[in-house]
Amino acid sequence: MPRKSPLVIGHRGAPGYRPEHSRSSYELALAMGVDAVEPDVVATKDGVLVVRHENEISGTTDVADHPEFADRKTTKRVDGEALTGWFTEDFTWDELATLRSRERLPKVRLSSASFDGSQAILRLIDLLDIVREGSAEHGREIGVVLEVKHATYFASIGLDLVPLIERDLRAAGWADGELPLIVESFESTVLAQLKARGIPASYIYLIEATGRPFDLLTAQGRQALTYPATVTPTGLDGLVGVVDGVSVNKRMLLEKGNTIVADAHARGLTVFTWTCRPENAFLSPEYRGQGGKSAYGDYEAEWGAIAATGVDGVFVDHPDLGVGFFRS
């Protein structure tokens, strides 16, 4: 029996072609045939959820060009890492609405950078409307894979993301179980909190190749389970009934001899992986080609090795390539 092709998820839309998390990035992903798109959410100081990869926005907006916000530049420690820049939680939504998106990787994605300055930041409710309208326009059901960012950090500064997410999902009609919704995070605590509020979704635990999740590290110190240990057979046993699956760094699936997918499937857990990109800059060394970081390497060979594991979903930056490859 042929293996079912994995879900193809537009990672922040179609950031291989447009600045990530912009309206055109998402609209292009929908037009290119993705099964779902993945927004990351962070919060403003007045409790509006905005779609940004990080709460530090100097790399993805023109905030540094706004003299009226020069005094907002600061250094903070987020999830144990010192960062200097401008942070969403120091702005109201009305202030952030004056900013424009920029390509995060302009040296790798020159074409995408040509769209710098043309698009505003999206709120979560804007993104949900885009996907709903896109589903109607393209005549197919398109899902949302909602990534919750830095939940422990935001809670520590008085911005609990859980009620804000529930508010927006319910207001937009995405919390009644009729529209496909997946909620994911590198922190299992926030997944449990959202699940306890009765948000009907699949809950996916994001897994890095190294380190420990910040929520557990904060609560348990060095006793906290590492990410790699979480996807051993024993670690996966502990996830059964807690989450619906895991989403692992692709490096973990490309390690010879790994049995993550088989072990998870044996326990009724799904497995996603991130992020499938064609450029040399992001490929494993054995798949890189000539032409520098922005040139495409032998991505089909890498993606083939990933598909051969039987993975259930893949995050892609170039939805046309992802749909064309993983559904072939």
The secondary structure of 220-268 as a DSSP string is HGGGSPPHHHHTSHHHHHTTBTTBSEEEEEHHHHHSTT--HHHHHHHTT
- Which of 47-51, 106-110, 250-254 bottoms out in mean pLDDT, i.e. has the lowest? 106-110
Record the tokens describing residue 313, joined without a space.
């979903």
Q: Is the pTM of this model over 0.85?
A: yes
Q: What is the mean pLDDT of the chain?
A: 96
Q: CB-based contacts of 25: which residues, under 8 Å, 6+ apart? A: 12, 13, 14, 15, 17, 18, 19
Buried b (16+ CB within 10 A) or exposed e, 137-162: eeeeebbbbbbbbbbbbbbeeebbbb
Instruction: Please answer whether residues 299 and 321 qualify as being in contact, where contact means their C-beta atoms are separated by less than 8 angstroms.
Output: yes
Q: What is the per-residue pLDDT across 186-215, written as a single tens digit (0 to 9) for each? A: 999 999 999 999 999 999 999 999 999 999
Most distant CA atoms of the chain, gap in Å: 62
pLDDT over 60 (residue 115): yes
CA pair distance 59, 265, nearest whole angstrom: 38
Of the candidates 122, 163, 147, which has an alpha carbon nearest to the alpha carbon of residue 27? 122
Q: What is the per-residue pLDDT across 49-105, written as a single tens digit (0 to 9) for each? A: 999 999 999 999 999 999 999 999 999 999 999 999 999 999 999 999 999 999 999
CA pair distance 146, 155, nearest whole angstrom: 18
**Strand-strand pairing, 74-78 and 81-85:** antiparallel
